[in-house]
Chains A and B, each alone.
Chain A
Amino acid sequence: MTNIINTLLVLILVLNFFSLGSSRIQSIIHTVAIQGVLLGFLPLLVHSHLNIWLLLASLTAIVIKGILIPNMMSRALRNVQIKKEVEPLIGIMPSLILGAIATTFALLFTSQMPLVPEHNDKLIVPAAIATMLTGFILLTTRFKALTQVIGYLILENGIYIFGILLLGAMPMVVEMGVLLDVFVAIFVSCIIIAKINKSFSSMDTRMLSSLKE
C-alpha cells in the first residue's frame, strides 16, 4: 500500500514540475486537474478500512478539484482570450530550477523531522511541502491573474496532502469545508479576472497598482 501511495505522490511531484515548466495556461490548468484527481484517491489509500463517507468525500474532492474548478478556469481563460504567460518575473528555466531546489530540500529536511514512525517511509510530508513551495513559486513569479489563481490552487493541494496525515484526528467535515472554501474562492476570483480584463484589457496584476479612488 505504501508503494502505491508513494507512486501517487511522486506523480504529483512530477506534475508540479510540469506546471512550473509550461508557459501555456491551458496546459497548466490540465496539469492541476490531473493533480486534483490523483489527490482525490489519496484518502482512500491511506485509510485502511473503507466506508461510505470516505468514498463520498474522495468523490467530492475529485469532482471539485478535477472537473469543476478546471472547467471554471478554462472558461475564464476563454473569456479573456489569452494563451500564454508571456513575461514571468523569472523565466521558465529558473523557476524549474527553483522548484527542483525546493523539492530537494523538502526531501532532505523531512528526514530530520521528528515524525510518527508510521509516516517515516511515506513521502506524504515532503510531497506536501514541495507542492506548497511550488504553488508559492507560481504565485509569486507569474503576473497573469489566472496563473496566480492556479498557484493558489497548487498551494491548497499541498495543504490537502498535509491534511491527509490528520485524517484520523480531524473529522472529514473540516476537509469538506476547506474544499468548499477553495471552490468559492476560485469561483470569485474567476469573476474578478473577467472584471480585471474588462477594465484594464489585460490580466496583468501589476496593473492593479494604478487603481485610484
Chain B
Amino acid sequence: MIIFHLLLLILMPPLLFGVINKTKAWFGGRSGMPLLQPYYDIIKLLRKGMVFSTTTTWIFRIGPIVTLTTMFIAGLLVPMGRFNAPVSFTGDLILFAYLFGLSRFFTTAAALDTGSSFEGMGSAREVTFAILSEPALFFAFSVLVKMSSSFSLTTMLHSPFNELSVDIAAPLVLIAIGLFIVMLAESCRIPVDDPTTHLELTMIHEAMVLDHSGPLFGIISYASALKLFILGTVLLHIIFPFQIGTAWINWPLFICEMLGLAFVIGVIESIMARLQMNHVPYLLISALLFCAFGFVLLFR
C-alpha cells in the first residue's frame, strides 16, 4: 500500500498538468503538446545550469527545496482513495495546513530575497490571497472533524464514506465547492492566476519565481504540480464518497478520478477568463462563506 502511495505521489503530479493542457488544446481545436510534456520539461530543467543574481543569499537557493520537501511531507499525510495514509496521527490536519504555510513562507522569502519589485509584488499578492484561503480550508476541515469526531486526516477524510447519515450531504456539497475554489487559488489556476502568462503585472505565482533557473525552477514546477495533486486528493474524498468492494480496483479508480478532476480544471480554464486582480478576494471570500455555511448547517 505504502509503495503504491509513494509511487503515485512521486510520479503522477506532472501528468495532471499534461491532462489540463491537453484539455485546453482540445477546446481550442489544437492538437496540443504531448501528454507527458511536463515530465520532459522538468527533466530538461534538471539537467541545465543555474544562474544566481549576486544580490541573492542562501534563502533564494533553499526556498524551492523547502517547498518541495514540505509538499512531499504533506502528501504523506493525505490518504488516497480508500487507503490509509502512510503517516497518520491525531492533529495532523494542523500540520498539513501549516506545511502549506511553511512552503508559502519560503517561496515568498526567496522571491523577496532577489530584491526585484515584480517579485515583491507577486509575494504580496500571494500572501494576501492566502489570508483568505487558509480560513476556508480550516472551516472545511472543522466540518469533517465534527462529522468524524477525529482529528486525524485519514479518519476525517474517510468519514464521508462511512457515515451515511441524513444531514451530511448538504455541508459536504458546500465544502466541496469551497475547497475547489481554494484548490484553484492555491495551485494558481485560472480564475485566480494564469499559469501560462508571462506578463508580470497580472500574475501571482509566476512573478515570484522569475529569477529561479535550471534545476531550482524544475523543482518549483514539480512542487506546484505536487501541490495540485495533494489538494485534489483531499477534494476527491469529498466529491466521490464511493467505494468498490475489491481493494485493488480502488487504485485505478482513484487514478481515473484524479484525471477526471484535471479534465474539469482544464474545462474551467478553457471557458473562463482570469478575474480582475481586485475581484479575486471576492471569489476567495465566497469560498470562505461556502465552507462557513457548511459549518453552520452541521451545527444547526
Q: CB within 8 Å of B: which residues of A?
A: 2-4, 6-7, 9-11, 13-14, 17, 21, 92-93, 96, 100, 103-104, 107-108, 111, 121, 123
Q: CB within 8 Å of A: which residues of B?
A: 164, 166-170, 173-174, 177, 282, 285-286, 289-290, 293, 296-297, 300
A6 touches B282 (CB 8 A): no
A14 touches B300 (CB 8 A): no
B213 shortest CB reach to chain A, Å:
41
- 15 A–B contacts from the bound complex (CB under 8 Å): A3-B166, A3-B168, A7-B169, A9-B170, A10-B169, A10-B170, A13-B293, A14-B173, A17-B286, A17-B289, A21-B282, A96-B282, A96-B285, A103-B293, A104-B293
Contacts of B167 in A (CB 8 A): 6, 121
B169 touches A3 (CB 8 A): yes
A2 touches B166 (CB 8 A): yes
Interface residues of chain B: helix, strand, loop or mixed (majority): helix
| Alpha-carbon distance between A9 and B297 when the two chains are bound, in angstroms | 12
Residue of B nearest to A14 (CB): B177
| Alpha-carbon distance between A13 and B171 when the two chains are bound, in angstroms | 12
Contacts of B166 in A (CB 8 A): 2-3, 6, 121
| Alpha-carbon distance between A14 and B297 when the two chains are bound, in angstroms | 13
Contacts of B168 in A (CB 8 A): 3
Residue of B nearest to A7 (CB): B169
Residue of A nearest to B167 (CB): A121
Interface residues of chain A: helix, strand, loop or mixed (majority): helix
A4 touches B169 (CB 8 A): yes
A14 touches B290 (CB 8 A): yes
Q: A14-B174, A14-B290, A17-B286 are in contact. Are A111 and B300 (CB under 8 A)?
A: yes
B173 touches A7 (CB 8 A): yes
Residue of B nearest to A17 (CB): B286
Residue of A nearest to B174 (CB): A10
Q: A4-B169, A14-B290, A100-B289 are in contact. Are A107 and B282 (CB under 8 A)?
A: no
| Alpha-carbon distance between A121 and B285 when the two chains are bound, in angstroms | 28
B169 touches A93 (CB 8 A): no
Contacts of A9 in B (CB 8 A): 170
Contacts of A7 in B (CB 8 A): 169-170, 173
Contacts of A17 in B (CB 8 A): 286, 289
Residue of B nearest to A20 (CB): B286
| Alpha-carbon distance between A103 and B170 when the two chains are bound, in angstroms | 14
Contacts of B285 in A (CB 8 A): 93, 96
Residue in B174, B286, B293 whose beta carbon sits within 8 Å of that of A96 in the complex: B286
Contacts of A96 in B (CB 8 A): 282, 285-286, 289
Contacts of A4 in B (CB 8 A): 169
A10 shortest CB reach to chain B, Å:
4
Q: A4-B169, A6-B170, A10-B170 are in contact. Are A108 and B289 (CB under 8 A)?
A: no
Among B167, B168, B282, B296, the most chain A Cβ lie within 10 Å of the Cβ of: B167
